[in-house]
Amino acid sequence: MTIDCLLHVHSSFSYDSRTDLADIAATARRHGFGCVLMSEHNNRMDDQQMAAFVRRCEDLSDDRLLIVPGLELAFDSNRVHLLAYGIRQFIASADPQCTFQSLVQSVREAGGLAVLAHPSHRQAIDRITAADLQELSGIEVWNVKNGNRFCPTGCDLRLLQQLRARGESMFGFAGVDWHHLNSFEPLATRVEAATRTPQSILQALRDGRFTVRGRFVSLDATGETGAARLAVYTHASGALLRTRQAAYRWQRTLEQRGVRTPRVLAALARRVF
């Protein structure tokens, strides 16, 4: 069966979001999604909070929508983020003895799916060894929050193609990285799963039985695309990122001088970025 899923989603269980999980479920239903794979930040979470989070996911799930718990594990002084989809137990990542490989192993032992979040953000990929990459099920090649909502990030997509050319068995994932209701983007991961269960959906993602569908662009799980289209993605994603960074710098400068951003401009920026 075909199930449209939202990946990389945060609720108020994350330190940097105030969005109630019930509002996420309602939005997902309204847009026709059948599954939401959560990825709450583990920075300020513990076992008790994790248990409460898992119970809330279960309470909000029904035969039309699955809310699947998961974590985003902060590593290397918060410079590298590992998405742990489908896990139901807390995993700490701040211990000095913790390694990237040990984190991936913990995710696997918990029955989860390990995906590197936004590889080019803060040059995370440069802080990971080739051996570390071999342990992953995939990398994010499209992240709305740290990239854009229109197309994949060209450099991350090129990285995936290079890794697969070297023989690495991994796939390209897309994440909404959704923290706030007013920044929702219906970036769908269309999964071909045997049944509507967390285990079946996670296995389909591991096997690469999915496609990514944005407003204007679709992408196969392998990330395969022509050289011309890859060049377009690289140029467009780079230009959008530079524009957003410049806009944020101007906003900070104006706010430091006591000038608030007009609501119309702020709303327009949210629609673009």
Assess contact for 124 and 155: CB atoms under 8 A.
no
Q: Spell out the domain ranges in the chain.
A: 2-225, 228-272
Half-sphere exposure of 132 (CA within 13 A, CB side): 19
3-state secondary structure of 150: coil
CA distances from 149 to 77, 177, 240, 243, 263 (A): 27, 11, 10, 14, 21
Expressed in percent and rounded to 5, the helix, strand and coil fractions of the chain are 40, 20, 40
Q: 2-225 domain in CATH 3.90.1150.10?
A: no
Given the structure tokens 């909000």, which residue do they identify?
A: 60
pLDDT classification of 53: cutoffs 50, 70, 90: very high
Strands (E), 10-87: 35-38, 40-41, 66-68, 70-75, 80-85
User: pLDDT digits over 180-222, tens only?
Assistant: 998 999 999 999 999 999 999 999 999 999 999 999 999 999 9
User: pLDDT digits over 10-23, tens only?
Assistant: 999 999 999 999 99
pTM (predicted TM-score): 0.92
